Amino acid sequence: MRDPTSFLKKEYQDLVDQSLDWRIAKLQGASTPWCNVDGKRVLMFCSNNYLSLSNHPHMKELAKRAVDTHGVGSGSVRPIAGTMDLHLELEERLAKFKGRPASLVYQTGFAANSGLIPQLAGKGDLIISDELNHGSIIDGVRLTSADRAIFKHCDIDDLALKLEEAERKDPAYRRILIITDGVFSMDEDMAPLDRMAKLAKDHGAMLYVDDAHGEGVLGEGGRGIVSHFGLGHNDVQVEMGTFSKAFGVVGGHVSGSQDLKNFALNKSRTWLLSGSHPPAVAAACIGAIDVLENEPQHVRNLWKRTDRFRKAMRDLGFDTGRSVTPIIPVMVGDSAKAKRLSERLYQEGIFALPIVFPMVAKDKARIRTIMNAALTDEDLDFAVGKFEMIGRELGII
């Protein structure tokens, strides 16, 4: 009898043979600059925990207190009986922090994109998306019945061309939605959001930015890419983000007008049909906003570490791509060589994973390093020394 699941093993083996498979490492303990991975003490160089807040004492205290007062779960989805006072407090605090009229918290950033995008544009509409947008945006766009256009990565001229072509359509589109990442997590560059906002306004289009890697990193006190460019809520209609990176917890959210919040909570099935965050998660996210508002040194320290490491790597001859953010790639090209570099780094005490196809093009494999505000100068010197030694060993520099 034919095994209907035989393709699973074959397709996985194909990935292994091409050095494209993921092998899950086990983090034993907290996500800190030095931690235990698979039983070995290593320097963590691939966590999104930019500000090292996941172990912040204030946030842990609020999470513990929430368990005592609210239990370990909400018991329902948000629209029925799962919206607690903590969820509402978090949304109020987040909106104030972002300088927006309203915010809505989703279970994850992926849920925000895949749940809201299909509702913002449908039949008779057009979505224009950057070619390197995150997979959650791509999946959200695929769920729509809207027409789609892709513009070249961060190419304002090509975006303008797509908008001009759209305006010539007869009958005209009901609405046009431009979507972009703020910080591109694989190429580590930043969208020219100020110029995009002007184009969107000139053409009467909505602008949606996924700021997952900008929040806590860019802008005044870590308020994100909209703040970084000095834009307002009339310039960028939808600001999406997550709590799972610089905020150090987990969850997604959108910020914008009160109308946007009302629309999203009534239309997004990922929000309507998923259980709400446990009280401890909501409380810890509130604590993260407290920290960002009251301890600005974390963002400053992150950028000091970023500038130091990137300069040292470039001085050695490493290709760090287009990076202008605390995500600093070490470009390798070949997937097998990128995996070998990662393996050797781990042997020498650095945990930094390879990024290979399909996350990036087949000839664009890299080690993606991510800076952390709690790293010391000694940590960075240690890492640079190991990269230099192994980079020469493998012929990368």
CATH code of 43's domain: 3.90.1150.10
pLDDT averaged per 10 residues in sequence order, the chain, 397 residues:
90 86 89 96 96 97 98 96 97 97 97 97 97 94 96 97 94 96 86 97 97 95 96 93 97 97 97 96 98 97 97 96 92 91 97 86 90 97 97 94
Estimate to the nearest angstrom the gap between the alpha carbon of 110 and the chain centroid: 9
Q: Is 6 part of any domain?
A: no
Residue 72: what pLDDT? 97
Q: Is 267 part of any domain?
A: yes
- DSSP string for 296-358: THHHHHHHHHHHHHHHHHHHHT---TT--SSEEEEEEESHHHHHHHHHHHHHTTEE--EE-TT
pTM metric for this prediction: 0.93
Q: Is 222 part of any domain?
A: yes
Residue 231: what pLDDT? 95
End position of a domain, from candidates 294, 324, 345: 294
Residue 43: what pLDDT? 98
Q: Does 300 lie in the same domain as 287? A: no
Q: Does 80 lie in the same domain as 64? A: yes
Q: Does 341 lie in the same domain as 322? A: yes
End position of a domain, from candidates 279, 294, 309: 294
Q: Does 316 lie in the same domain as 252? A: no
Q: Does 171 lie in the same domain as 25? A: no
Q: Is 3 part of any domain?
A: no
Residue 2: what pLDDT? 85
Residue 232: what pLDDT? 85
Q: Is 189 part of any domain?
A: yes
Q: Does 340 lie in the same domain as 385? A: yes
3-state secondary structure of 176: strand
First to last CA, the chain: 54
Residue 18: what pLDDT? 81
Q: Does 352 lie in the same domain as 251? A: no
For residue 133, what is the domain's CATH number?
3.40.640.10
Give the integer Cα–Cα distance in Å for 129 and 28: 39
Give the integer Cα–Cα distance in Å for 252 and 278: 14
Asked about 267 being catalytic, the answer comes back as no
> Which of the following is catalytic: 56, 98, 213, 261?
213
Which pair of structure tokens corresponds to residue 214?
A: 């900008």
Q: Does 307 lie in the same domain as 280? A: no
Q: Is 12 part of any domain?
A: no
Q: Is 135 part of any domain?
A: yes
Asked about 244 being catalytic, the answer comes back as no
Asked about 213 being catalytic, the answer comes back as yes
> Which of the following is catalytic: 54, 129, 185, 268?
185
Q: What are the start-end ranges of the E strands in 110-182?
A: 126-130, 147-151, 176-181
Residue 20: what pLDDT? 75
Q: Is 11 part of any domain?
A: no
Q: Does 366 lie in the same domain as 353? A: yes
Residue 247: what pLDDT? 97
> Which of the following is catalytic: 245, 298, 339, 386?
245
End position of a domain, from candidates 251, 273, 294: 294
Q: Does 151 lie in the same domain as 197? A: yes
Q: Domain count of the chain?
A: 2
Q: Does 344 lie in the same domain as 304? A: yes
Q: Does 302 lie in the same domain as 288? A: no
Q: Which range of residues forms the domain containing residue 26?
A: 19-48+296-393
Which pair of structure tokens corresponds to residue 126?
A: 């057009």
- The H or E element containing residue 206 is strand 206-210
